[in-house]
Every structure is written in structure tokens, then in C-alpha cells.
Structure 1
Amino acid sequence: MMKLSKSGLATLLAALTWLPQAHSGLFDDDEARKALLDLRAKVEAMRIEMSARIDTKSDKSSTLDLVTQNENTLQEINKLRGQIEVLANDLANAQKRQKDFYVDLDTRLRKLEPREVTVDGKSAQVDPNEQRNYDAAMKLFTSGDYAAAASALSDYVRQFPVSVYTPNAQYWLGNSYYAQRDCKSAIAAQLVVLKNYADSPKAPDAMLNIASCQTELKDKAAKKTLQDLIKTYPDSTAAATAKERLGGK
């Protein structure tokens, strides 16, 4: 066993006292700080005890006892240091999980928030459900499943009567019926576009589609519908098509 002098023991104790202070800044967790404070208190108590015993006893056996106690304290310090490192690692993992949770929560909340879209030149706030349901209905239409598309679009205009997508949904509802050769339903759907959304860019095409259905039904009203289209929406592409149809008659 190494024999230490009084000055050597004092130096060692000073180093032990400094050691936990050097590491305490690394941890912010309450438990870690408490462990460090407890450790400092134990080291300080040992320092006081050793100083008192060195001052009153200088025999060899007392010195060896103090060295043994010092080694035990070092072992306890190492043990506590390991516990603090584990605690610090657990804290870091908990902080990462908490951060990931808030990021995920923020992402979910953003998905639920209305967002601004521009449809046919009009900007509006759209609820995520509006967007999702409209996109799903249009996907059915573009895939050629016109019966399912008609059902989905009909549900949409009923569920979201004032959505910025509703005029378009109503127009494509009429097209879904027309694609199934259900001209009567197609005319009824397009008449809703003209009545409720006359300023929609889809209105001229809705009127042209009505004329097409009337022609297939051999309804003489088709000619008047084309004339009204040219008069009401003279600058539209649909009006140009109407002129061609009328010119061919």
C-alpha cells in the first residue's frame, strides 16, 4: 500500500473535490444534479474527516486507514459517475423522443389545418377533407370509373356546398353522367352549374354539354342552347365551338 504524506492527501482530496464540479455542467437533469451534489457532500465530509484525523494522528496505521477510506471513496465516485452517465444517456434519449413527438404532432396538426389554394383564379381556404375527397372523386373519373365518380362527386357537392371546388365538382358530375350516356341526369347536373355558378369558368362548357345531350336526345332546344351560349359567353372556347356547330347546320 502506498504511503501518503499529509500534503499529498490534502492534494488528492482537493482533486476529488474538483472532479464532480468539472462534470456537473454536462447534465441538466434534476436527478443528475442531485447525484452530483450528494457526491460533493460525501467528498467534502471525507476531506474534513481526513484533515481532522491527519491533524490529530500522524502514526502509520492512521494514515493507512485514511488511504483505504480514500480508495473506497474513489470507488464510490466511479460508481456514481457511471450512474450519472447512464442517467444522462437516458435523459438524452428522452429529450430526443420528446422532440420527435412534437415534430410528429406538429406535422399532424398541419395536415388538419386549412390551406390556401387557387382554383380557376380564385383563392380560398380549403379544409383537408375537401381537398382529399375532391381528389379522390376526380381520380375515379380519370380512371374511367364513371359510376363511382358520379357517386363520389354527388356526395362531395352535398357535403361541401360552398367549397371552392364545388362548381368544378358539379360540372364533372354532369360529365360523369354523360360518359354513362345518361343524358337526362347530365343535363340536370349541368343546369345546376348554370344556375348556381354562372360565373364559373366551367359554365360555358356546362352549357355546351347540355346542347350535346339535347342533340343526342333529338331535342330541338339544342340550337337555342348554342345560341344562348354564344350570347352569354361570347369570348369562351365553348362559344367558338357552338358557332362551328351552328354553322354546320
Structure 2
Amino acid sequence: MNVSVLTKKMQALVFAGLLMPAVASAGLFDDEEARKAILDLRAKITALTAKMEARLDDKADKTSVLELNNQNEQLKAEIATLRGQIEVLLNDLANLQKRQQDFYVDLDKRLRALEPKTLTVDGRQVTIEQSEQRSFDAAMSLYKAGQYANAASAFTAFTLNYADSVFASQAQYWLGNSHYAQRDCKNTIVALDKLLKTYPDNAKAPDAMLNIAACQLELKDKKESRKTLQAVIAKFPGTEAAQAAKSRLASTK
């Protein structure tokens, strides 16, 4: 058998059998370390091929076809080992890229969670921090769940941490209601009185005044309670709150 032909067949075996899977996966080789590892393996294959060619040239006249076949099998075994190393490397690289992709997806979600968002509050569009929205929603969830003491603490924290928030007036109102739900009339009056002084035009002002009047009556201060009810009627005539104030006045003579 012609030595040159046999050598070319061995080279075809090396590059077709081993390197083509790597070429098919070339899109994976974005990582510099992976690229270097592939180049190192290719260099080993080239060295094996060169070594075999040297053997064939040296023993062209002495080596039998059987011996050449044996050497061919040995070369195949070495190539199989290298091929296994490439498969392991490709698998490790795929796992690394998957972890990187998951990391960036998670990072993107975290960044989006920090971005301000626009919403409509009291008929106007405003931009707020998402942490601000979550804090207010968490306090409201506590109130709706009947956890009034925890809700009061959460609304208090909100009014301190987000004093300029578009939700500040609502937080102040629900803080008062959280105290009222616990029959804590002193703190109810303090919280709702602050609402009325800080946000006199707030839509919840009539209801806040009714609750203040109820607490004043419960604290045995009928005079102040009646005065508050009369103020509701004067400030908000024709409203449901005014009608409720009239009914209460009639029952507290």
C-alpha cells in the first residue's frame, strides 16, 4: 500500500472524525478559555499526525501493512481520548453559558424591579419608585388581613421613609384607621388630625373627621365631638359624610 495515500487517509480520519463536531459547535466558543483549550487539543492532534507521518516515512520500506494498521488503531485510540476531552469541554462550556444566561436574566429582572414606574394617583400621573409601591401595598395588605397593629407600624414606617410620596396622605389616613380598628382613640385622633392639617383637601377628610368625632365621643368629650360633626356639615354639605354627621348630631343631644 502507498505510504502517502495511507497518511492522507489518517489525516482525513483525524480532522473529519474529531474536528467536525467542534466546528458544528463553533457558536459555543465565545469563552477565551474554551478557545484556548480547543486550540491545545488541535495542537495535540497535529502533533499525533506529524508523529505518524514521521514513522511512516522512516519505515516505509520495512513496515508491513499489518503493522501500519496496528499503528492506525493506536492513533484512533489516542484520538478517541482527545475527542472525549473535547466533549467534556463542550459540556462544561454549555453549562457555563447557561449559568451566565440565567445570571443576566436574573440581573435584568432585579434592575427592572428597581426602575421607577408611572401610575395614576388621585387622577394624575406620577412616577414612583417600585420599593415605595411595594411598601405601601404591604401595609395595606396587613390592614385588609385584620393585622391592625402590624399595619399601624407599617404605615408609620411608610410616612417616615416616604414623607413626600404620592401615597403619603393615604398612608396617614390608613394609619389613623389602623388605630381606630384597635379602639385606640387617642392615636386615632393624633393621626387623623395630622392628615387634616397636612392634606386639608384630601378626599378622605370627611371620613377622617367622622372617625375623629366618634373617638371624641368615646373619650367622653361630647362637646368636641359635636363641634367636629358640625364642621363636617359645614365643610362638606350635601355629601354622605354630612348626612351621617347630621344623624349622629341628632343622637348625641
TM-score, structure 2 as length reference: 0.76
Contact 1:140 1:148 in 2 (8 A): yes
* Structure 1 residue 174, shift from structure 2 partner: 1.6
The partner residue of 1:72 within 71, 74, 89 is: 74
1:202 aligns with 2:204: yes
Deviation at 1:46, TM superposition (A): 4.3
After TM superposition, the structure 1 stretch with the greater mean CA deviation from structure 2, 102-111 or 236-245, is 236-245
Q: Secondary structure at the match of 1:106?
A: helix
Letter of the structure 1 residue corresponding to residue 111 of structure 2: L
Report the number of matched residues. Answer: 243
Aligned residues: CA RMSD: 3.2
- Is the contact between residue 113 and residue 127 of structure 1 (CA under 8 Å) also seen in structure 2? yes
For 2:6, the equivalent position in structure 1 comes to 9
Find the counterpart in structure 2 of residue 228 from structure 1: 231
Contact 1:35–1:84 at 8 Å: present in 2 too?
Answer: no
Match of 1:219 among 210, 222, 231: 222
Deviations 1:117-158 (A, max 9, x none): 444434434444434443443344334343443333223322
In structure 2, give the amino acid aligned to 1:24.
A
CA contact (8 A) 1:39 1:77 kept: no
Name the SS for the 2:222 alignment partner: coil
Gaps of 5+ in 1: none
4+ residue segments displaced more than 6 Å? none
Match of 1:24 in 2: 22
* 1:53-103 deviation per Cα after TM superposition (whole angstroms, max 9, x unaligned): 57xx434x3555443333222211111001100111111111112222222
The one-letter code sitting in structure 2 at the alignment partner of 1:152 is A
Query: How far, CA to CA, are the matches of 2:250 and 2:94 in structure 1?
Result: 79
Deviation at 1:235, TM superposition (A): 6.3
> Normalising by structure 1, what TM-score?
0.77
The residue aligned with 1:186 is 188
Letter paired with 1:22: M
Q: 1:71 to 1:179 in 2, by over 3 A?
A: closer
**How far does residue 44 in structure 1 lie from its aligned partner after superposition?**
4.5
When residues 158 and 234 of structure 1 are mapped into structure 2, their CA distance, relative to the original with a 3 A threshold, is: same
Tell me the CA shift for residue 198 of structure 1: 2.2
For 1:45, the equivalent position in structure 2 comes to 50
SS in 2 for 1:163: coil
Gaps of 5+ in 2: none
**CA separation of 1:137 and 1:10: change in aligned 2, threshold 3 A:** closer
Instruction: Give how far 1:10 is off.
Output: 4.3
- One-letter identity of the residue aligned with 1:90: D
Shift in alpha-carbon separation, 1:17–1:81, aligned structure 2, 3 A: closer
